[in-house]
Chain A
Amino acid sequence: GAVVSQHPSRVICKSGTSVKIECRSLDFQATTMFWYRQFPKQSLMLMATSNEGSKATYEQGVEKDKFLINHASLTLSTLTVTSAHPEDSSFYICSARAHKWGDEQYFGPGTRLTVT
């Protein structure tokens, strides 16, 4: 149990374009999903928290108009990086939590974004 998938695993895009990353909970219904970003040699930084059917809650310093999050169902959340720039190149990781597991969170395999 507790399998989280992400797609794509790697993406390269040109500066100014938008990229959509999908996060799915495969064998459970995720009450809450989280999006993190990790730069090389640094720790995970939470970007936003989303609950199904609600607007995402963004962390301080994260531009909500640039990083669009949609949590359309209990098994799917998407992150769209709009008008991507080279400084957005990073490792984006989602995680999911279910009520039955309390505070435990399970991570997807991550998406490595490179903006050229």
Chain B
Amino acid sequence: QKEVEQNSGPLSVPEGAIASLNCTYSDRVSQSFFWYRQYSGKSPELIMSIYSNGDKEDGRFTAQLNKASQYVSLLIRDSQPSDSATYLCAPFTLSYSSGSARQLTFGSGTQLTVLP
């Protein structure tokens, strides 16, 4: 089982629609969760962090966290062509590749395309 799982996509939505990105993680004691946006050929940019169960809204972005289900999602309202990018889910989790160290563990990302 992968530590962080995301639908790879590609996910296509029309301009103005809501884009819904999902992520599940395996570490039950993760407390911090982050969404990064990565444009092609660029480095990741932090867009949302969430620490408590429920919803957190920031502009057009809403992060949702359900620790019991080990599930975190990102909703993008009124999607714009400029939102077209790969979205990376990154819980702060126990990484099996580094022994007992806790660190950001990235999913493989969901590629989002917003069609004009």
- In the bound assembly, the distance between CA atoms of A44 and B43 in angstroms comes to 10
Partner of A108, one of B36, B43, B106, B109: B43
- On chain B, the residues within 8 Å of A34 by CB distance are 103-104
Cross-chain contact A110 with B103 (CB below 8 angstroms): no
Q: Interface-forming stretch among B11-19, B21-29, B44-52?
A: B44-52
- On chain B, the residues within 8 Å of A102 by CB distance are 32
Residue of B nearest to A111 (CB): B43
Cross-chain contact B101 with A107 (CB below 8 angstroms): no
Q: Given that A43-B88, A60-B97, A103-B32 are contacting pairs, would A110 and B42 also be in contact in the complex, using a CB cutoff of 8 Å?
A: yes
Kindly state the interface size class of chain A when it binds its partner.
20 to 34
Cross-chain contact B32 with A60 (CB below 8 angstroms): no
> How close is A3's CB to chain B, nearest CB, in angstroms?
12
Number of B residues near A (Cβ < 8 Å) is: 21
- In the bound assembly, the distance between CA atoms of A105 and B49 in angstroms comes to 10
Confirm or deny: B98 has a beta carbon within 8 angstroms of a beta carbon on chain A: yes
Cross-chain contact A59 with B43 (CB below 8 angstroms): no
Cross-chain contact B104 with A105 (CB below 8 angstroms): yes
> How close is B30's CB to chain A, nearest CB, in angstroms?
10
Given pairs A49-B103, A105-B104, A109-B43, 10 additional interface contacts (CB within 8 A): A34-B103, A43-B107, A44-B106, A46-B98, A46-B103, A49-B98, A59-B97, A103-B92, A107-B45, A109-B42
Q: B residues bordering A, Cβ < 8 Å? A: 32, 34, 36, 42-46, 49, 88, 92, 95, 97-98, 101, 103-104, 106-109
Pairs of residues from A and B, 3 with the lowest C-beta to C-beta distance, nearest first: A103-B32, A110-B43, A103-B92
